[in-house]
Amino acid sequence: MKKSLSIITIMTGLSLAVFNVALLSPALPSVQNYYDVTSRNAQYIVIAFMIGYSLSQLSFGAICTILGYRKSMFIGIMIGIIGTIFCVFSWYAADYNFMLLGRFIEGFGTSCGLTLCFALANELYEGKAARNVTTYGLMAASILPAFSNYIGGFLVFHLGWISCFELLLICNFIAAFTVFLLPKTLSVRENTKVSISKLIKNYNLAIKNPSIFLGAILYGLFLAIIYLTIETLPFIGIGELHLNVEKFGFLFLLSYLGYFTGTIISRLTTKKISAIQAILFGIIISLLGSSFITINYFTGSLNSLTLFLGIYIIFIGVPLVVINGSNIAISSHKDKANGSSMFNFIYSLFALGAVFLPQFLSGNFEIILPSIIIGLSILGLYMWFKIKKINNTLLN
């Protein structure tokens, strides 16, 4: 199989988890009403997915070491499909606990692509080529969820929220078979004799790599921005601004295209600015977008235009951080599969912690969301200084 076709698998793997979250985003208020739970309890649908997402990151690094990339990714996506089936069953049984269990399994399975595809990009390509391939993958991660928000809103408005899960079932099946586009021969070979102690040693080496550790925290802070937005924005747009679900999906589509804009900027500036500089620009842009929403909230000017414009600006900055941060981190480690696995596990823990934050904060989501994003961006700026210092030391 031609190596160039592997880009399709990488694009699918990097976008699959966020697609499984984003498609359901416009349905959250409807799910809340169907199961008769509070808006904060409805957010556990995202949180349960993120818990599975976090556990997936360490697991599939080890599984990949034993089974190789192709089998590991196929098994992971099939596990995700089982989770989607649980979610569909919860609708028939009217059981919210089955929904949460299904989302956990779905998150665990469909998130395998993140660990494996970041490693694949750095395994099959080197230097700026790996950075470019990751950019293409995250372009898919921007386009697909953007349109999935609109599709989700359309489906909920016309067919009901359960149709979102039915579509996920079909798309996850298709994604499972893209793994056969990968080259059969990769440096990670099937090895059924891998010992637990060796895996622990490999993970220990990865976590002691400061580029992996700090890069993962930075990535997690900005990944959290995406999931926090997906988690809370429906309750702002539909609940507070009284948009119908189809219009909300369309406006979310337009704002999410900011992520696509950011990936284009990252691609065009690959040869003009360093990865460290691109990360700083991304942090500043996200700070500007979240500050814009905050100012409009306190001046009484927050409406659908100013809200979604602010989200668009924030999302321009996010890919500049995550594309360049991930490549700096993973390219610094020789064992790409386990380095990527530890990188993803660390960042997913930080993302999970941030997604939990709205559960403990009182007030309106209109101010909670931009306030958390400002806080995450400031922490990201601190991580940037630490990573820049390490990079300067290595260069000297």
Residue 10 · residue 120 · CB < 8 Å = yes
Q: Give a yes or no: residue 196 inside a domain.
A: no
Q: How many CA atoms lie within 13 A of 94 on its CB side?
A: 4
**Is residue 248 situated within a structural domain?**
yes
Task: Report how many helices (DSSP H) and strands (DSSP E) the chain contains, helices first.
Answer: 16, 0
Residue-level pLDDT at 295:
95
Count: domains in the chain: 1
The answer to whether position 325 is within a domain reads yes
The yes-or-no verdict on residue 3 having pLDDT over 70 is no
- Looking at residue 192, its pLDDT comes to 46
| Mean pLDDT, range 259-266, rounded to an integer | 85
Mean per-residue pLDDT, 17-33:
85
The pLDDT value given to residue 190? 46
pLDDT of residue 195: 58
| Cα angle 318-323-329, degrees, rounded to a multiple of 5 | 120
For residue 272, what pLDDT band results from cuts at 50, 70 and 90? confident
CATH number for 378: 1.20.1250.20
Whether the per-residue pLDDT at 150 is higher than 90: the answer is no
188 within a domain of the structure (yes/no): no
Confidence of residue 162 (pLDDT cuts 50, 70, 90): very high
Tell me phi and psi for residue 169, to 5 degrees. Answer: -60, -45
Q: Which of 128-137, 177-186, 212-221 has the lowest mean pLDDT?
A: 128-137
Average pLDDT over every residue of 73-101: 91
Residue 19 confidence (pLDDT): 84
R_g (Cα) of the chain, nearest Å: 20
Q: Is residue 194 part of a domain?
A: no
